[in-house]
Structure 1
Amino acid sequence: MSYSAWILLTASLVGLSCGIIGVLLILRRMAMMADAISHSVLLGIVIAFLVTRELSGVHMLIGAIAAGLVTSVLVQWLHARGVQQEASIGIVFTTLFAIGVVLIATKVGNAHLDVKHTLMGEITFIPWELINLPLVGEIPEAVFILSLVLLVVVVAIVAFYKEWKITSFDPALAASLGIPAVLMHYVFMSLVSVTTVASFDAVGAIMVVAMLITPAASAYLWTDRMSVMMVLSGAFGVVSAIVGYYVAVWLDTSISGSMAFATGILFAVSFLASPKHGLLARYVRPAAVIPDASAPPTKSLE
Structure 2
Amino acid sequence: MSYTGWILLTASLVGLSCGLVGVLLILRRMAMMADAISHTVLLGIVVAYIVTQQLSGVHMLIGATIAGLVTALLIQWFHQVGVQQEASIGIVFTTLFAIGVILIATKVGNAHLDVKHTLMGEITFIPWEKVHVPFLGEIPEAVVILLFVLLVVLFFVIAFYKEWKLTSFDPIFAASIGIPVTLMHYVFMSLVSLTSVAAFDAVGAIMVIAMLITPAAAAYLWTDKLYMMLILSSLFGVLSAFMGYYGAVWLDTSISGAMAFATGIIFAISFLIAPRYGIIGKRRKIQVAEN
- Normalising by the residue count of structure 1, what TM-score does the alignment of the two structures yield? 0.94
Alignment of 1:261-276 (within 5 A): 261-276=261-276
How far apart are 1:109 and its partner, in Å? 3.3
> How large is the Cα RMSD of the aligned pairs?
1.0
In the alignment, which residue of structure 1 is the partner of 2:184?
A: 184
How far apart are 1:289 and its partner, in Å? 4.9
In the alignment, which residue of structure 1 is the partner of 2:289?
A: 288
Alignment of 1:157-168 (within 5 A): 157-168=157-168
Residue type at the aligned position of 1:248: A
Alignment of 1:56-95 (within 5 A): 56-95=56-95
1:47-73, Cα deviation, whole Å (9 max, x unpaired): 111111111111111111110000000
Alignment of 1:35-74 (within 5 A): 35-74=35-74
In the alignment, which residue of structure 1 is the partner of 2:196?
A: 196
In the alignment, which residue of structure 2 is the partner of 1:237?
A: 237
Output the CA distance in 1 between the equivalents of 2:109 and 2:211. Answer: 31
Q: Which protein is richer in helix relative to its size?
A: 2
How far apart are 1:281 and its partner, in Å? 2.1
Output the CA distance in 1 between the equivalents of 2:58 and 2:147. Answer: 16
- Normalising by the residue count of structure 2, what TM-score does the alignment of the two structures yield? 0.98
1:288 alignment partner, SS class: helix
Alignment of 1:141-180 (within 5 A): 141-180=141-180
In the alignment, which residue of structure 2 is the partner of 1:218?
A: 218
Unaligned runs of 5+ in 2: none
Residue type at the aligned position of 2:215: P
Output the CA distance in 2 between the equivalents of 1:198 and 1:106. Answer: 25
How far apart are 1:102 and its partner, in Å? 0.8
How far apart are 1:287 and its partner, in Å? 4.5
Output the CA distance in 1 between the equivalents of 2:73 and 2:149. Answer: 22
- Paired residues, what number? 290
Residue type at the aligned position of 1:157: V
Equivalent pairs: percent with the same residue?
Answer: 74
2:83 alignment partner, SS class: coil
How far apart are 1:140 and its partner, in Å? 0.6
Output the CA distance in 1 between the equivalents of 2:158 and 2:53. Answer: 39
In the alignment, which residue of structure 2 is the partner of 1:299?
A: none
In the alignment, which residue of structure 2 is the partner of 1:106?
A: 106
1:88-138, Cα deviation, whole Å (9 max, x unpaired): 111100000001111111122311110000000010000001011111111
